Structure 1
Amino acid sequence: SVIFSLFSPTDAELRDAIFEAADRGLMMFGLINKVDDTQPEMTSDRADVTARVEIYHRSKNNKDVYGHSYFKKDEAPDGFWWEKSGFGKRKHPVYIHHKFIVIDAETDNPVIYTGSANMSNNSNYNNDENLLEIKGGKELASIYLAEFLRLYEHYRARVQWDDFVKRKEKSTFKLGKDSSWAKDDYDPANPKSKARVSMSGQ
């Protein structure tokens, strides 16, 4: 499995390796700071422009990467008062600033990458950053995995809630009377199915 929480993954080799793992059928989930609301234009071959285009399509087509752009002040559900209050003039009150990648977190041989580097092109090649590689730390990997899933599942639910609101649907998170609500968990191409298999140790 591969999980990551990064500010801006503009490094092409890293991004390609992460997405390739998911395309091979491994569990892969990601949180980043921003996914564009509309399809960005490929105006140049700069690393940041390429990243915006690729991440936009990944978010829309594969639904395994989410960004803060979904979360707008005027769309927060009841109870999320902190998103509607003291964030100045920010359009989006939710920001992702964790910087880590964990490979095979659910196994006996996890690998963690963490530090000040946010895995962007500038971070990797131009800035004076630090990055730790930690191998075999099962307990630490479990902590990172738990923290990631805490954030990811919260934001994923918020994205779905916002989509319900935009479509003006009355039904939100209610389970159906048959097994149709679980069909995604058994579709090999769906991220939910990959997570079910990976987390169950199959």
Structure 2
Amino acid sequence: MDPIRLIVGLGNPGREYEATRHNVGFWWVDELAEEAELNFKSEAKFHGLSARGLVLGRELILLKPQTFMNLSGRSVGALAQFYKIAPAQILVVHDELDLQPGIARLKLGGSHGGHNGLKDIIAQLGGREFWRLRLGIGHPGDRAQVSDFVLGHPREAERELMLEAQHQSMQVLPSVLDGKMEAAMLKLHSRK
């Protein structure tokens, strides 16, 4: 199993999007950077904010694309190409409509499921075989409402559940970084 070298949090840049459901990937990598005492800096050649350093004893790069969600692949692709990081060494943390708030799931590959950020990353990397950490945000129940929903602010109870899922998924990070994905999935997926 390839070690993870790059963790990408997906979101939209700008203060007006900070607290929206679509930005849970940013929330996740921000918390990780804070715990690891890493600072993000703007890197124009990667169209994003990146932080490099030791996380749980492993050399990692954290990335927050600043391209807006539907062009996330431009940022991920540029950084992965520059550092020669294979798709299987990338973990993308993103919001997931098909999971309820409070649920986090880890998986390798699969379709983009209509997620524009994943769609662009697949296009730029030329394949789907990267890891995803899917953080549940729930679904509005009507496809026509999805755009407003993901760009909306979660209710306080939802936000608490989303932060709990973030915390739970952080607990399996040591296994993920050790390449013990089966163990990480078993632990994370056995929670409610």
The TM-score, its normalising length taken from structure 2, stands at 0.28
Q: Highest CA radius of gyration, 1 or 2?
A: 1
Write 1 or 2 for the structure with the bigger share of strand: 2
